[in-house]
C-alpha cells in the first residue's frame, strides 16, 4: 500500500513519477509516526482511506479514495488520530488546510476545530484539548 499512498502524497502526481525517495518518505512516515487506514473487509489489502502524521505532530495526508467518499471515513480517521496524537505527542492535534480545500475546511470546522489563520492556509487545532 506504500505505492498507492505515494501516488496521492503530492497533488497531481501519477504512478510514473513516484520516485524511490518518495516511497522511502512514505514508508518512513507510516512506520515511524502515528498513522491509520481504513480497509474494506474482503477487499484488496490496500486502504481506501488513510491519515498520516508529520514529524512535528501535524495530522496530514488525509485522503479517501473517490469511490468511498461520502461515507464519513475521513471524519472517523480524524477522530481516531486525535486520540493517537494526543497520546503519542502530548499536545493538542493540529492540521494545516489550504483555503481552497473546501471539503477539509468544512470537515474540521464541523468537528469544532479552532481556526488559526495563516497566509496561505488555515491551521486548525482540536478543540478537544483546548
Residue-wise pLDDT tens digits, 25-74? 888 888 888 899 999 988 778 899 999 988 777 888 899 999 999 999 99
**Count, residues in the chain:** 130
Query: How is residue 74 written as a grid cell?
Result: 475521513
Query: How is residue 47 written as a grid cell?
Result: 486502504
pLDDT at residue number 123: 64
pLDDT at residue number 76: 96
Residue-averaged pLDDT of the chain: 82
Residue the block writes with cell 495563516: 118
For the CA atoms of 81, 87, 90, 91, the dihedral, rounded to the nearest 10 degrees, stands at 20
Backbone angles phi, psi at 10, to 5 degrees: -115, 135
pLDDT at residue number 90: 78
pLDDT at residue number 127: 66
Amino acid at each position: 500500500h506504500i505505492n498507492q499512498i505515494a501516488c496521492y502524497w503530492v497533488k497531481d502526481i501519477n504512478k510514473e513519477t513516484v520516485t524511490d525517495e518518495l516511497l522511502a518518505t512514505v514508508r518512513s512516515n507510516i512506520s515511524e509516526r502515528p498513522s491509520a487506514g481504513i480497509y474494506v473487509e474482503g477487499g484488496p489489502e490496500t486502504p481506501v482511506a488513510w491519515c498520516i502524521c508529520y514529524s512535528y505532530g501535524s495530522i496530514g495526508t488525509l485522503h479517501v479514495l473517490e469511490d468511498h467518499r461520502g461515507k464519513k471515513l475521513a471524519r472517523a480517521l480524524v477522530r481516531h488520530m486525535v486520540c493517537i496524537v494526543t497520546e503519542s505527542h502530548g499536545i493538542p492535534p493540529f492540521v494545516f488546510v489550504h483555503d481552497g480545500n473546501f471539503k477539509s475546511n468544512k470537515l474540521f470546522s464541523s468537528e469544532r476545530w479552532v481556526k488559526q489563520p495563516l497566509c496561505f492556509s488555515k491551521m486548525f487545532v482540536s478543540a478537544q484539548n483546548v
